[in-house]
Amino acid sequence: MRIAGKLGGAVVSLSMVVVLGFFLFRVIPGDPVVSWTRGRPTTPEMQAALRAEWGLDKPLPQQFLDYLGKLLRGDMGTSFTYSRPVLDVISERVGPTLLLVGTSTLIAVLLGLWLGIRGAWRRDSRFDRVSTGVALTLWSTPTFWLGMLLMMATGDLFPSRGMRDTDTAPGFFSQAVDVAHHLVLPSVTLIAVVYAQYQMVMRSSLLEELHASYLTTARAKGLRDDLVRRRHAVPNALLPVLTLVFLHLGLVVAGAITTETVFTWPGLGLLFYEALTGPDYALLQGLMVVTAGAVVVMNVFADLLYRVLDPRVRAA
C-alpha cells in the first residue's frame, strides 16, 4: 500500500515535469524560427513553412495538447536543430554521460566516504583539517575554471576535448584505452568538485555516532579500533549518505553541463546546453522528461531501499 502511494507520487511528479517542461522552455526568450533563419537568405514563405512544420503556428494550448498526445504514444517529436527524432538524439548521448558522470560519481563517493570516515575517526587531527579544507576549497571552485586550469597544467598529457580521437585504430582495446585517456581530465574535474559533499555528510554522520553507547560496548568487548569503526560505527552512519548517493544517481543522467561543455564531452549535459540555443523546444522537453524521470525513479528507489536497510523506518 505504502509502495503504491510512493509510485503514485512519482507519477504525479512526472506529470508535473511534463507540464512544466512544456511551458518553462516557452518562457525563454527567443523565436526558434527567427534564430534558425537569421544570417541566411530567407523568404517569408520559408519562415512560415518552418513555423508550420514545428507546429509553432498553432495556439499554445493546441501545441500542448499535440505534444501530450504524441508523448503518450511514446513520440517525443522531432528536434528543431537536428531534424531527427528527439528520442534518437537523446539516446546516443546517454552512453557518454553515464560513462563520465557514473564513473566520476562512483569514485567521488568512494573517495568522499573514505576521507569522511578517516576524518571523523581522528577528529581535528591534521589529516582531518587538511582534507576538510581541501575538499571545501575544491567544492567552491568554479568547474569551468578548474577544468581549463587542469587542461593547461597537464600540457599535452591529456586531450582537450571529446571522447575519442578521430584517428585511433579500430578495435576494442585501442578504442577503450583512447576513451579512458579522454575520460581522465573531465572525470578528475567532476570528482574534484563534487566529492566534498559525500565527505562532509559522511564525516558529520559518523561524528554523531561516535559517542553512542553501542560503541563503548563494542570496545568493552575488546574489539580493535579498526573493527569498531568498520563493523559498528560506519554501517549506522552510512544511512544519510546512501540517501544522498541515490539522489545524485538520479542526476547522473542529467549529465554535468559545465564539465561536458568545457571538455566537449558528447553527453546529455552538452546536448542540454546546446538545445537552449534556438531554443529547440522539442529537444528541451524531451531532455526534461528523461532527466527528471531519472531523478523521480531514483528517489522512489532510494526510498524503498532505505526501508530495507533501516528497520526503524520500516516500523515508523
Partner 1 sequence: MRAKVLRLAAAIIAVTITSPFTSPPSAMAQAQPPVTLKVAIVQQIDSLNPFIAVFQSSTEVGRLMYDYLTAYAQADQKVVEGVAKTWEPSPGKLTWTFTVPDGKKWSDGKPLTARDVAFTYNLMLTNEVARTANGSFVANFESVTATDDRTVVVKTKAPQITMTALDVPIVPQHVWESVTDIKNYANDQVPVVGSGPFVLTEYKAGEYIKLKANRSYWRGAAKYDELHFVYFKNADAAVQALAKGEVDLVNRMAPAQFDSLADKENVTRNKAQGRRFNELLINPGAQTRTGTPIGDGNPALRDVRVRRAIARAIDLDALVKRVNAGYAEVGTGIIPPVFPKYHWEPSAAERRTFDAAAAKAELDAAGYPPKDGVRLSLRLLGRAGRAYDEQASEYLKQSLADIGIKIDVQLVSDDQLNQTTTAATYDLAFSGWGTNVDPDFILGLHTCGQRPGADGTGGTTDSYFCDAEYDRLYAQQLSEFDEAKRVEIVKAMQARFYDQVPSVVLCYENALEAYRSDRFSRFPVQPQTGGVIMAQNGVWGYYGAEPAAQSASSGSGRSWLGIAAGGVVVLVAAGGWFVARRRRATAEERE
- Contact with partner 1 (CB under 8 A) among 156, 172, 211, 213: 156
Binding mask 114-153 for partner 1 (x = CB under 8 A): ----------------------------------x--xx-
53 touches partner 1 (CB under 8 A): yes
55 touches partner 1 (CB under 8 A): no
26 touches partner 1 (CB under 8 A): no
87 touches partner 1 (CB under 8 A): no
- Contact with partner 1 (CB under 8 A) among 1, 4, 5, 29: 29
Using CB under 8 A, count the residues that bind partner 1: 70
Q: Going by C-beta distance under 8 Å and a sequence separation of 6 or more, which residues neighbour residue 182?
A: 158, 159, 162, 163, 164, 165
Closer to partner 1 by CB, 250 or 269: give it. Answer: 269
Closer to partner 1 by CB, 236 or 264: give it. Answer: 264
Closer to partner 1 by CB, 124 or 225: give it. Answer: 225
- Contact with partner 1 (CB under 8 A) among 20, 34, 110, 210: 34
49 touches partner 1 (CB under 8 A): yes
- Contact with partner 1 (CB under 8 A) among 4, 72, 153, 157: 157
CB of 44 to partner 1, least distance (A): 3
Closer to partner 1 by CB, 32 or 250: give it. Answer: 32
**CB atoms closer than 10 angstroms to residue 40:** 7
286 touches partner 1 (CB under 8 A): no
d(CA 183, CA 99): 9
**CB atoms closer than 10 angstroms to residue 60:** 11
- Chain CA centroid to CA 148, Å: 21
175 touches partner 1 (CB under 8 A): no
215 touches partner 1 (CB under 8 A): no
CB of 89 to partner 1, least distance (A): 7
CB of 267 to partner 1, least distance (A): 8
Residues in contact with partner 1 by the rule CB under 8 A: 28-31, 33-51, 53, 78, 81-84, 89, 92-93, 148, 151-152, 155-167, 169, 173, 177-178, 180-181, 184, 224-226, 261-264, 266, 270-271, 273-274, 277-279
